[in-house]
Amino acid sequence: MAKLTKNGKKKVASKKSPFHSSKLKWVGTKLLDDVFTDEVSLFKPHFEVDYEAYLQRLWDSNPEIFEILKKSNDLISARDSLYSYLEKSERKIFEIDNDLHILEKSTVRESIRVFRSIIGPINEFRTEFSALESLWKLARNKRNELKTKISVGFILEFINLFRGVTGKSHIYLENAEVKKGFPEFLKMKGREAAVARMDILDELGSSLKKYFKKYPSGLEEEVINWRTENRAKILRYFKGTENDWNDYRWHLKNVIKNAKPLLDLIELTNEQKEAVDKAVKNKIAFGITPYYLSLMDTKLSIGYDHAIRAQVIPPKEYVDKMSEHRADRSVSFDFMGEHDTSPVDLITRRYPIISILKPFNTCSQICVYCQRNWEIESVLEPKALASTEKIDEALSWLDDHKSIGDILITGGDPLVMKDSQLQRILEILASKKQIYRIRIGSRTPVVLPMRITDELITMLSKFHNPPNLEITIVTHFEHSYEITPQAMTAVQKFRKTGMSVYNQQVFTVENSRRFESAKLRRDLKSIGVDPYYTFNMKGKEETSRYMVPIARILQEQKEEARLLPGLDRTDEPVFNVPKLGKNHLRAGQDHRLVMILPDGSRVYEFHPWEKNITPIPPYNYVDVPIYDYLEELAIRGENVRDYRTIWFYY
């Protein structure tokens, strides 16, 4: 790791990536696009988009398509001509004398499939927009007839798609088509072949380590020392002792519920302070444990803690939306449609043998992008525990649905409950013969690891009785910077009793940089946590600032996670379909790109998990534009060229 400094992080030297070279530059937040050329800037001075330059690059990327669009007198003939062109292009890649590399041919086939889908009339009808009509009017210089302004993000999507259908994606080489052929090591045999391949593997391995150095964990000595200082400062502030620090009840008593302790102990931006103040004023759930505060860098200039701050310090947009919909938030923000999948109070069910039980409706601190932000009234809400009568009714409901054998206890955070309260629920569940697994969904190991007491472990271990009944912990680490010696101790307490610990990561802009999530996987395994799910960020309007295009999670799984050993990459990338449940993003046959909207957003059609079992209608999802995401990465100092294959993940 590069030497860390509390006065600001030392910049890790950026060597040439084995994936892509770069001359890409950004001015302010605007792309000076040399992805396609080294000579032409596609932006005018003063940050004004040179729209004509983008359009020219679009038509240059595929002159045949441009001619089809320009010469078609109406939309019907344009569509028919494009279908014919795509059929011809697809047939061409199967010709014997076609010398494109077979992997480039695969990109051609996929690009053609996507293009056909986008210009399909049924998809225009379902999405209420025609990308083809916009392209046709642009090609015929009828921009004044466009109903909606077409963005740079839209144009960039089609620049890449146009190139893709002709085998000029330049995924494998920057400036030339990849031709048929074999790498040198495949032409050799024995030891000679092995030695020749070592250079390639060493380069990939070195790149992995180079990126890992950018993302320190809380297990590294310098970080531990910083946090020791933070802890002392927080204890002085709250007049606590070292013994207090190790007592979770002290942390719960001193949960931070307004901006003042933050301002006194760490640097905040003006926007962060104003957002916290407005959240408190409008009674929007907000809270941070003293322990979690100790994980934050005291100076904004250090910046390793960005993912930690982002989880608990709400952005302005979030607070504004939550304030606006305070009265109707249970309707407005129930993205997963839990109202429609709850057959009885405290129960949610979307699958044949799994059910969710929610007995406790608060946490020791509040995550901004919580799926159930519409349910939680406040941090450590005194009335969060459901009544005994309500809990018993929910547990009794299971007796009438004996196919359910796996129960996830969540909420809220069930490990904030008293041991006796949780024990009573476990005793009733354990008495039901059909229950073979109880999962406890808790962020406590991350935000309050001292809550994992010996007494709690002893109580839970009484119910862990394989193969009859398994108790597992499902937690939620988001970044390597959250992994601390204290968190490791908590995890190991579970593991030493035989209980498994799994992690559900939400893939956000805060952990989506090159190899950032790969580093998290590696660090999780080192402390005994198995990566379980990587969730695509839910399309909740109030948390849009955190969202990442689906293409990026697919790219991450293929180009970064794939370099790790299999035991480190046990997670499954998923998209949660509202009311229905998880769709595996790795299963390409269960989702398809059906439209590009004017702002560059992709529209995906998701087929539910019941596909091939029972006919359930698909779900259309509007993603965040790739261009907007890349712009955000550039603001954060990323070399955007390293992400250039993102356009070809559909």
In a domain, 594, yes or no: no
CA atoms of 381 and 363, how far apart (whole Å): 8
H/E element, 631: helix 626-635
What integer pLDDT is reported at residue 1 of this predicted model? 47
In a domain, 468, yes or no: yes
Q: How many CB atoms lie within 10 A of CB 180?
A: 11
In a domain, 405, yes or no: yes
Q: Which domain does 580 fall in, by range?
A: 332-588
Residues of the chain with pLDDT under 70: 1-49, 173-177, 326-337, 372-374, 539-540
CA atoms of 440 and 382, how far apart (whole Å): 21
Burial class (CB in 10 A: 0-12, 13-18, 19+), 370: buried
- The closest of 157, 163, 193 to 175, measured between CA atoms, is 163
CATH of the domain at 536: 3.20.20.70
CA atoms of 348 and 394, how far apart (whole Å): 10
Identify any residues that bridge with 475 across adjacent strands, giving them in sequence order.
503
**DSSP secondary structure letter of residue 454:** H
The total number of structural domains in the chain stands at: 2
What integer pLDDT is reported at residue 180 of this predicted model? 74
In a domain, 576, yes or no: yes
What integer pLDDT is reported at residue 326 of this predicted model? 67
In a domain, 469, yes or no: yes
User: What tens digit of pLDDT does each residue of 328-364 get?
Assistant: 665 556 666 677 888 999 999 999 999 999 999 999 9
Of the residues 544, 570, 588, the one at which a domain ends = 588
CA atoms of 32 and 35, how far apart (whole Å): 9
In a domain, 96, yes or no: yes
**Which whole-number Å values give the CA distances from 590 to 245, 575, 593, 594, 615, in the listed order?**
48, 11, 11, 13, 13
Q: Please say whether the beta carbons of 480 and 211 come within 8 A.
A: no
What does the block give as tokens for 64?
Answer: 């045949």
Q: How many CB atoms lie within 10 A of CB 283?
A: 12
Residue type, 156: L
What integer pLDDT is reported at residue 77 of this predicted model? 97
What integer pLDDT is reported at residue 332 of this predicted model? 56
- The closest of 369, 364, 124, 398 to 248, measured between CA atoms, is 364
Q: What is the DSSP string of 199-246?
A: HHHHHHHHHHHHHHTTS--TTSHHHHHHHHHHHHHHHHHHT--HHHHT
- pTM (2 decimals)? 0.90
Q: Please say whether the beta carbons of 484 and 523 come within 8 A.
A: no
What does the block give as tokens for 196?
Answer: 């020749």
HEC assignment per residue over 28-56: CCEEECCCCCCCCCCECHHHCECHHHHHH
Of the residues 143, 169, 187, the one at which a domain ends = 187
What integer pLDDT is reported at residue 377 of this predicted model? 76
What integer pLDDT is reported at residue 278 of this predicted model? 92
Burial class (CB in 10 A: 0-12, 13-18, 19+), 468: exposed
In a domain, 467, yes or no: yes
